[in-house]
Amino acid sequence: MNKKDNIVVIGAGLCGSLLALRLAQRGYKVAMYESRPDLRTTDISAGRSINLALSDRGFKALRLAGVEEKAREICIPMYGRLIHDTEGNTFASNYSGRNGEYINSISRGDLNGILLTEAENHENVTIHFNKKCTSVDIENTIVHFKDYETKEEFSVNADVVFGTDGAGSILRKSYYLERKFLFSYSQNYLTHGYKELEIPADALGKHQISKDHLHIWPRGKYMLIALPNLDGSFTVTLFLSYDEGEYNFNNLTTEEKITEFFEKEFPDALKLIPSIKDEFFNNPTGALGTVKCSPWSYKGNTLLMGDAAHAIVPFYGQGMNASFEDVTVFDEILDRCDGSWEEVFKEYQKQRKEDTDAIADLAIDNYYEMRDHVANPLFKQKRKIEMDLESNFPTEYFSKYSMVTFNDEISYSKAMKKGRAQDKALLNLIADNEVITSLDMTKEELAVVLKKVQEETNEILEEDKVAGLK
């Protein structure tokens, strides 16, 4: 590794911007290329999530780069889910039983803009917009681009290339097209897609429903969620099958059909979305997919990072946080390794791959939980016990959600293994009537429950280990 190496970062989204900023802070020279216009001066949000959930792993990376406080200034805390049924009734489910633990709704564009500006403030960073990467010669680290404004094609010679160009990564595509090495790749889509709508602010510019929650309308085969924005609006996302069921994206083709669907399934939300027809027809329908691949690097000259290496579905609110944690882990490895880029890249994948696979699987799990289970009485009982345990034993018990979202010292893979075992243990206790959730338990009674959960969790983990599942 050499501070004078010519480093090219493909993609100036959230991960690429943070990576470029951190590399610049370490003294490296970075040129970043982005296919879209500068989002600080042009609205390019169409088809992409307008707001995202930022939590502890993301904040840890932003803190490392010195921009945590700027990010917090544009955050809206969400303390839990607010579940809406078809009758218009709601019930809240906190994210944590501990005080001060919550996730944050944040504008994708505003956060990306902060990172771009911070990176651009370093003289060893240059950012080139409207430059579409068309291919990468991975053997010779030559990156080919097309300028969207001049229509000219050009090439850039690099010493090191980072592909932070998202789920449709051109660098990743070059890996399997060039056939220079054995490259494993999978891209799996859910049968559901998504479409974004909006609940506008009221006449006074205020939020029409609670801004302190992530709102969910779970309906089994489909789901609506809403996250608050600083301007008083909510970004609403409909998750719906493309072609299955009574209602799907393929048959919601008329205003009458759309209105019928929302009146039946989301009547309270419909009253808050005045331009449902125009938004439904004009806003694109997005796909929901998971990307897994290996290896992430080639000859120590190129490296995939963020969604380019491990795109996930959005249902754990960890896509951005996982990509930011990539930068944290990579930075820690740079502190330890003073050898070649190849050594750093191999160590990075060795340390990171298991965790990114784990959060991908957890995101799929949470999709079904949010869609099918959050309104289930058994699920509500389990969450009540978890909240009581976290409230009374804040340092001894962490739910799976808390381990993933609020404890950045626990890896995703460990959180998945232990969290799944805990869930199974709790559900077994409830099913066997060893826990009475209809009554408020004393701390002493909860201590007995905690001990039982810990014992059964350890037994399940040991059984998984023996079975070769750990």
What span, in angstroms and rounded, lies between the C-alpha atoms of 29 and 32? 10
Chain centre distance of CA 241: 21
7-74+107-187+289-367 classified as CATH 3.40.50.300: no
10 Å CB burial of residue 179 (0-12, 13-18, 19+) is exposed
Instruction: State mean pLDDT over 267-291.
Output: 94
- Quote the pLDDT of residue 47: 46
Query: pLDDT tens digit string along 115-170?
Result: 999 999 999 999 999 999 999 999 999 999 999 999 999 999 999 999 999 999 99
Query: pLDDT tens digit string along 391-408?
Result: 999 999 999 999 999 999
CA distances 447 to 402, 435, 441, 451, Å, are 19, 12, 10, 6
- Res. 441: pLDDT tops 90: no
Contact by Cβ (8 Å): 363, 355: no
- Quote the pLDDT of residue 61: 98
* CA angle at 45 for the pair 369 and 64, rounded to the nearest 5°: 75
Per-domain boundaries in the chain: 7-74+107-187+289-367, 189-287, 376-467
For residue 46, name the pLDDT band (cuts at 50, 70, 90).
very low
What span, in angstroms and rounded, lies between the C-alpha atoms of 271 and 273? 6
Contact by Cβ (8 Å): 432, 388: no
DSSP label at 258? H
Contact by Cβ (8 Å): 312, 360: yes
Backbone angles phi, psi at 342, to 5 degrees: -60, -40
Q: What is the mean pLDDT of the chain?
A: 93
For residue 439, name the pLDDT band (cuts at 50, 70, 90).
low
Lowest mean pLDDT among 238-242, 289-293, 424-428: 424-428
pTM of the model: 0.93
301's CB contacts (< 8 A; 6+ apart) are: 138, 141, 159, 160, 161, 341, 342
